[in-house]
Amino acid sequence: MKKVLLPTDFSENSINAIRYALEFFKYEACEFYLLNVQKVSSFVSDDLMTMQPSETIFNSLISSAKERIERLIKDMETTYGNTLHTFKSKVDFDNFIDAINQIVSIEHIDLIVMGTRGDSKIDKRIFGSNTIRVIQRCDCPVLAIPQDYKYSEIKDIAFPSNYYTEYNSEDILPLVHMAEKYDYTVHVIHVKDAEHLTEYQENNRAFLDACFTNINHSFVELNEGHLFHTIDDYITNSSIDLLAMMSRKHSFLERLFVTHAVERFAFNLKVPLLVMENTGDFYLK
């Protein structure tokens, strides 16, 4: 049974992502973990620094969140009535990322599904939305759902690669299993940065070809251009339903000052984004 983590702050954005997940896995046995992470406000924090922690405050916050999750679960059970799906409620009083990493580890979560608002303002790029922070710092594949995006049947997936990454077959298993199970077509997209591939690139391309042996897939060469706009145009013109990308964990300084391709897509994409961790070697040009 697949285990899926659904973080929620009870916003329309997070609930939309939950609904997408239930539709996405409607034919698959899943255990959904609805997680709300309570964060102490600065007002309460100041109070707690000058007195004994109040069990009343803590219990009140946790109890209220638990009740809201239970109501949300009941609503989902009533609306979808899918006997393949079971739900568990989780409330934590912790740092958001720490709480997610803890439940991923303890419950052996296979996938995190959450919404992204698509805000690309500079303050968001520096400090990161919750979705970007999860992508950067959590050890689990993430499926990010754009704000207001409604589920539609998936047929085609785009998978960009510059072929400079030495892939680990374990890293791309979420994509392989998904495409095999539901007979999706995978478009491996390469945006040219030179006239010909190097031998190193050819080897990595061949490795991907072998990984996708049992999947209907093609290799697409696009003319050199701005990475985001080139791939975004292909997604629109080819009616792509989902974008899958690899991501590497970034250091604090990288997260602070550098906007990586995955973050750029997560902020601006119009279709869902599946992000898988890349643990393989990366060849610098």
Do 155 and 183 contact (CB within 8 A), yes or no?
Answer: no
- pLDDT(230) > 70: yes
pLDDT value at 277 more than 90: no
- Please name the amino acid found at residue 83: T
C-alpha–C-alpha distance, residues 98 and 198, integer Å: 41
What is the pLDDT at residue 4?
A: 98
Q: State residue 14's pLDDT score.
A: 93
Ranges 64-73, 189-198, 222-231, 274-283: which has the least confidence: 274-283
Question: What's the pLDDT score for residue 29?
Answer: 97
State residue 127's pLDDT score: 36
Look at residue 110 in the predicted model and tell me its pLDDT.
96
In the structure encoding, which two tokens stand for residue 70, read together? 């239970």
Distances (CA, A) of 261 to 55, 138, 258: 44, 17, 10
Higher model confidence: residue 264 or residue 122?
Answer: 264
Q: Both tokens of residue 155?
A: 């047929």
For the segment 35-39, the average pLDDT, to the nearest whole number, is 86
Q: What is the mean pLDDT of residues 135-158?
A: 92
pLDDT tens-digit map of 4-30: 999 999 999 999 999 999 999 999 999
Of 101, 107, 85, nearest to 18 by C-alpha is 85
Per-residue pLDDT reduced to its tens digit, 105-146? 999 999 999 998 644 444 444 334 788 889 888 889 999 999
Per-residue confidence (pLDDT) for residue 274, from 0 to 100: 94
Distance (Å, rounded) from C-alpha 283 to C-alpha 165? Answer: 6
Question: Average pLDDT, stretch 230-239?
Answer: 92
43 confidence band (pLDDT: 50, 70, 90) = very low
Q: Which residue spans within the chain are E strands per DSSP?
A: 2-7, 30-38, 85-93, 111-116, 142-146, 156-160, 185-191, 216-222, 242-247, 273-277
Q: How many CB atoms lie within 10 A of CB 202?
A: 12
How high is the pLDDT of residue 251? 52
The pLDDT mean for the chain works out to: 84
> With pLDDT > 70 as the criterion, what percentage of the chain qualifies?
78
The pLDDT tens digits of the residues spanning 44-99 come to 544 444 444 555 666 667 788 899 999 999 999 999 999 999 999 999 887 889 99
CA angle 139, 96, 10 (to 5 degrees): 115
Say how many Å lie between the first and final Cα of the chain, rounded. 42
